[in-house]
Amino acid sequence: MANEELILEAMKEVLITGQEMARRGLVAGTSGNCSVRVPETDLVVITPTSLEYELMLHEDICVIGMSGEQVKGRHKPSIEINMHLAIYEARPEVGGIVHTHQTMGTAVAVAGKAIPPILEEQVFSLLGAVDLAEYGAPGSAELARNTVEALGFKNACLLAHHGVVAVGQKIRNALHNAEIVERAASIYIMSNILGGPKVVPFMAAEYEGKDL
Ligand SMILES: [Zn+2]
């Protein structure tokens, strides 16, 4: 497939995923963003800043080079473009990223906590606990750095006082991972009403005696 077709395909994936994020209630209004790494290029396509997902069109999606220069698009890219680029740089296998303001995941982040590995599907898909990235102002290099650090080799992390980042080989995997974070966060919060969560048996040793 020629580069141009790959770019168009990636733009379509970003548009569909952005609208799906809004439809599923993971973001509201113009908050959050998502991106795709264009295969066989050093390009990333990402949602534009300050545009509602419901009104977004294919041609509104921005094409950005890995060093941050805008290649195509009539709008500026999302303010979190640096965070997306930093993740792609650190994780060559990641092909798609979603950043949401989902309620339950953000509730855990606001409490200054991580989600311990409590569900099987969480451990299999996200690869363990969902750690908390230290606070960084929106769009800052600090936030990008803290996110890469909290993510490590895993597929999701929480952003202090802010939201959630999920990644995947494809953007549809990243969206699915964001849903798993929401489910794990909800169950984590609920289980505290019933005496507190327990971690999955095969990771219990690692968490013995730790405050969850
Ligand atoms: Zn955000």
User: What is the predicted pLDDT for the residue at 1?
Assistant: 60
Residue 210 lies in a domain: no
Instruction: Note down the domain range covering 28.
Output: 3-199
Q: How far is the CA of 78 from the centre of ligand 1 (A)?
A: 10
Q: Rounded distance, CA 166 to CA 26, Å?
A: 12
The reported pLDDT for the residue numbered 108 is 98
Beta strand 43-46 pairing with 62-65: antiparallel
Task: Examine residue 204 and state whether it is found in any structural domain, yes or no.
Answer: no
**Residue 212, domain member (yes or no):** no
Would you place residue 210 in the very low, low, confident or very high pLDDT band (cuts 50, 70, 90)? confident
State how beta strands 163-168 and 132-133 pair. Answer: unpaired
Residue 96 belongs to some domain of the structure: yes
Using the mean position of ligand 1's atoms as its centre, give its distance from the Cα of residue 33 in Å.
7
Beta-carbon neighbours within 5 Å of ion ligand 1: 163
Residue tagged 């849903």 (tokens): 179
In a domain, 207, yes or no: no
Gap from CA of 206 to ligand 1 centroid (Å)? 31
Residue 20: count of CB within 10 angstroms of its CB: 17
Going from the Cα of 18 to the center of ligand 1, the distance in angstroms, rounded, reads 13
* Average pLDDT value for residue range 170-193: 98
Amino acid at site 128: G
CA dist 135 and 202 (Å) reads 31
Helix (H) or strand (E) holding 206: helix 204-207
| Number of domains forming the structure of the chain | 1
φ/ψ of 187, rounded to 5, equals -70, -35
CATH code of the domain containing 63:
3.40.225.10
pLDDT at 60 over 80: yes
- For residue 56 the two structure tokens come to 């977004």
pTM (two decimals): 0.96
Predicted confidence (pLDDT) at residue 2 exceeds the cutoff of 80: no
Is the pLDDT at 138 greater than 80? The verdict is yes
Residue at 209 is within a domain: no
Active-site residue set: 80
How far is it, in rounded angstroms, from Cα 57 to Cα 18? 11
State mean pLDDT over 50-69.
95
Q: What is the pLDDT of residues 82-102, one digit of tens each?
A: 999 999 999 999 999 999 999
pLDDT of amino acid 48: 97
Residue 172 forms part of a structural domain: yes
Check whether 166 has a pLDDT greater than 80: yes
